[in-house]
Structure 1
């Protein structure tokens, strides 16, 4: 099937390897990946900050950058959730309302798409490590994703998945929240990382690079013995160039 790839702006700028690994996963799942280099942002930063007119302008460009014919897949539950939910506020009863509704029904976060649409949960990855999975707020509450990432991680050779305490609690990022309330944000990150450390995990894995950015910054600042890793990077770890499934 044809799949249009949506790479959020911060992934493009800070986690390019995650974007490349998303392409590899989709291709291994049998998809033809289409990437429009004119794409930019979904409008979430402006929307969350209360600048809805500016968010609507950016969102309009997003809707024009993608088609209504194909699935749209993104390695970000946060941005996927923005399109699926917040666009109702921005584009209800507008000239592009119908196109918006169609695209909303076609856009999927990566793990959701792989498990529920492509029907694939094994990709031949290998990672000898104990990991915890962090349920990002957007994945859990906006995209209704819970089991999909865990199903994918369970099929990674050598990986031991353990559950940490309060894994559904926010990491403290929240976009502009971390800027407006840095002390609260840092305390929330501390709680999340300490819960992960208590399990003996070596990695915190998530579907959201924004959460991982928040947590890795805290880890680096305090020189803690744990790392963060995006789900797409885990699922492509240990691949051989000529490996086949």
Structure 2
């Protein structure tokens, strides 16, 4: 099975270790990966800010970059959700409607791909510690995914996963929201930090680095300690029992 990696801006520029973990995990499970170098941003920041026409060039670039991909996998429910929105954005467009629909159908968030496409839960990872999982908004509201991350984390040896209170609440990042509404965003992340602290977890896990960057930043500003880990890093930790998917 061939998988094209969609890195996302945050991972590409700030958290390359997440991309490396994702690739290593996929290849260990038998996937053949490639990285279309013409890919850019998914277009979400400008599109959500109302620059719809000016965003078209970015979206079209993505359609062309992944045109020949069998599957596209990214480490962010938010960015993958945006790429699935292309079908609606280009609906009725004689030139790009089919390409937009096809891209949405073959694009998956990392944990979704492992669980729903590869049919894997146990990837052979080991991580000692007490952790809690933050469920990002776009992962659940746009992708409708509430099962895959928990099923995968449940099989990580040594990991004690405790429920996060008010898990449905947003962390306050929301991309451009945190810039446009900083006071509200700050209050939201303060409440999220308090919920994480209440679990006594040593590790905060999520499937979206935007959320982890936001929550981890709040912890740093308050002088509190928490280790943030993307789910790909967790699933690529201390692998002692490689499990190969049938692909």
Q: TM-score range by the shorter chain?
A: over 0.9
Aligned match of 1:26:
26
Aligned match of 1:90:
89
Q: CA deviation at 1:239?
A: 3.0
- The CA distance in 2 between the partners of 1:228 and 1:167, in whole Å, is 16
Higher relative contact order (CA 8 A, sep 6+): 2
Task: Establish whether residue 163 from structure 1 lines up as the match of residue 172 from structure 2.
Answer: no
Runs of 5+ consecutive residues of structure 2 not aligned to the other structure: none
Structure 2 CA distance for partners of 1:181 and 1:69, relative to 1, 3 Å? closer
Aligned match of 1:148:
148
> What's the secondary structure of 1:129's corresponding residue?
strand
Aligned match of 1:219:
219
Aligned match of 1:202:
202
- The Cα offsets for residues 98-122 of structure 1, whole Å up to 9 and x where unpaired, read as 1110111000000110001011111
Task: Establish whether residue 53 from structure 1 lines up as the match of residue 31 from structure 2.
Answer: no
Q: Is the 8 A contact 1:68 1:102 kept in 2?
A: no
Counterpart mapping for 1:70-109 below 5 A: 70-85=70-85, 87-94=86-93, 95-109=95-109
Q: Is the 8 A contact 1:121 1:152 kept in 2?
A: yes
Q: CA deviation at 1:68?
A: 4.7
Runs of 5+ consecutive residues of structure 1 not aligned to the other structure: none
Q: Is the 8 A contact 2:123 2:242 kept in 1?
A: no
- The CA distance in 2 between the partners of 1:114 and 1:89, in whole Å, is 26
Cα RMSD after superposing both structures: 1.2
> What's the secondary structure of 2:158's corresponding residue?
strand
- State how many pairs are aligned: 242
- The CA distance in 2 between the partners of 1:121 and 1:67, in whole Å, is 29
